[in-house]
Structure 1
């Protein structure tokens, strides 16, 4: 017998209208616009500073979040302002157009440190969950569905607000880093493959390879060309590399970001390997080592102190062990909390 699930609009239980938090919280509410990027970034930075987090938001990243072609800022964002016109609360809900196995809606919110403990965070989570349910119901995709958020493990009080609204921990991630002042691993030669610098003409082939490589990874979904291009605010092309086979097909890739605005908070400079992947037929041949060793050298050649990356602790490829063997150590962690529909 084939298992069946209820229609998504039934499972999502989307409200007809998403209620905006009331004036009793002391804030005036409206949707965000791209012109609000600096205000939202300043709010995020105040929150990150208060929580002692080792990273900071940037205006470029916030602008990127506000300009996705598939987003409707009038419906998907919410900003709360105090009587002086300062942004004190922010939330948004987002979807991923390329989803084919699980249709997802991601939610996020930030409350100014001076406005915590007043119920604002609870109101933001209620608003964002309601909007996420609308997005899922309107997706037209009859698939398993998920509302998800990421919580830094250094701020457990944030996770508690989401858990009170029905979210549950489902996946755990670690950020790892490696000091580049230590001896770097050799770049192994892999028969039939060569590592070359990233180039614009290779970009879409890398996207398609990434979709293939991560097809068997939990929570990964295909990225459309629009999604792929939209996530590039901190892209570092000179720190990114592609492994090509003898027929010039993509066998693997390492895509890096340069987050200079994080360095002061972290206390060191770093290069961030955002994406690392090797096609199935090339696994077990040290191609991932060749890519990472090449990336480390590119960072070190530019005077960078650490190489960083993050990994799903249950990654099926054994990536955590590979990184540890290359000298990466766990430095930070986060948790994905979800409502499964």
Structure 2
């Protein structure tokens, strides 16, 4: 356990320079910009296909990652290009400006399948680990700190590279899906509550409700308006719903995304429930069931074959059991690995 009374600059022990990958690895290294989004999406898709993953990263998602105002791409991204100018490897460090309980730096990267086995992945992890320490030390937030990454459980070699650099598995997530060609759950009628379609006028209430709902969830931090907007690349408003009480206050929400570029890799079209939450005082009254029942109907009406979502296996609200009771089954899983500072 780390001692958060020690200044973060001391705990982070940030190096003066983040180590650049060696020239002998055969690539030319530089930071990326918005113009590189297409090449980065293509690289990530090649990696995902080679690893047999049931999803693909789109250009729109990469643009959404690169464009937020808090990003310093010149310092927080690194990509390796071959002699033809094709990006063959990359890594990035990102932060979350709304962090209030734990200040976090997220790292990730990819190496083209044709360029693996040369030490490039380990070099990128070393660079991103060092840069993450610099970012945390400069954050100005005297809080517990975390460097984190997510690894799909079907790519254990990636997790081993991070573990060799000092990362430890700390949290486990399951991606669940529910077929829509079998009877859907009834929409429960709940006294004092109505479920309505998402609308722009409700959106900031939904954000604030989300921040309140997840205040007691491990690893969750408040989202600023800028963070909330930045996460909207695949937002599906017609698949999103809000639960209102008698005073028209938001007490629950289901925010959906439409990842059409994943469907060929997965083998079916689906709707993805990206965020789902219910205020504590309304839990235990089937509000989540009412929201998901509406979501499933919206997906099915648009010809989707599955409803999908992801859940922390240690979710304190008992969400995993709710989903299983509605017919969701585990499709694949992932792990968060961290260095706690």
Shorter-chain TM-score bucket reads over 0.9
Query: TM-score with structure 2 length normalisation?
Result: 0.99
Shift of residue 18 of structure 1? 1.5
Shift of residue 19 of structure 1? 2.2
CA displacement, residues 75-129 of structure 1 (integer Å, 9 cap, x when unaligned): 0000100111110001000000000000000000000000000000000000001
What SS is found at the alignment partner of 2:206? helix
Shift of residue 335 of structure 1? 0.2
Aligned partners of 1:120, 1:247: CA distance in 2, in Å?
56
- Uncovered stretches (5+) of structure 2, i.e. residues with no partner: none
User: Which residues in structure 2 correspond to 1:273-312 (within 5 Å)?
Assistant: 273-312=273-312
Pairs aligned (count): 339
How well do the aligned residues superpose, as a CA RMSD in angstroms? 0.7
Aligned partners of 2:325, 2:104: CA distance in 1, in Å?
34
Q: Report if the CA contact (8 A) 2:4-2:144 is conserved.
A: no
Shift of residue 68 of structure 1? 1.1
Partner of residue 266, structure 1: 266
User: Which residues in structure 2 correspond to 1:82-101 (within 5 Å)?
Assistant: 82-101=82-101
Aligned partners of 1:275, 1:231: CA distance in 2, in Å?
11
What SS is found at the alignment partner of 2:146? strand
Aligned partners of 1:213, 1:230: CA distance in 2, in Å?
20
Partner of residue 167, structure 1: 167
What SS is found at the alignment partner of 2:43? helix
Shift of residue 16 of structure 1? 1.3
CA displacement, residues 255-283 of structure 1 (integer Å, 9 cap, x when unaligned): 00000000000001100000000001110
Partner of residue 192, structure 2: 192
Partner of residue 235, structure 1: 235
Aligned partners of 1:282, 1:329: CA distance in 2, in Å?
25
What SS is found at the alignment partner of 2:83? coil
Aligned partners of 1:275, 1:157: CA distance in 2, in Å?
29
CA displacement, residues 113-167 of structure 1 (integer Å, 9 cap, x when unaligned): 0000000000000000111001100110000000000000000000000000000
Shift of residue 5 of structure 1? 2.4
Partner of residue 256, structure 1: 256
Shift of residue 4 of structure 1? 5.6
Partner of residue 328, structure 1: 328
User: Which residues in structure 2 correspond to 1:111-260 (within 5 Å)?
Assistant: 111-260=111-260
CA displacement, residues 24-49 of structure 1 (integer Å, 9 cap, x when unaligned): 11000000000000000000000001
**Alpha carbons of structure 1 residues 4 and 240: separation in structure 2 relative to 1, 3 Å:** closer
Instruction: Confirm or deny that 1:14 pairs with 2:28.
Output: no
Shift of residue 20 of structure 1? 1.5
**Alpha carbons of structure 1 residues 216 and 164: separation in structure 2 relative to 1, 3 Å:** same
Partner of residue 339, structure 2: 339
CA displacement, residues 188-245 of structure 1 (integer Å, 9 cap, x when unaligned): 0111110000000100000000000000000000000000000000000000000011
Partner of residue 47, structure 1: 47
Instruction: Confirm or deny that 1:108 pairs with 2:104.
Output: no
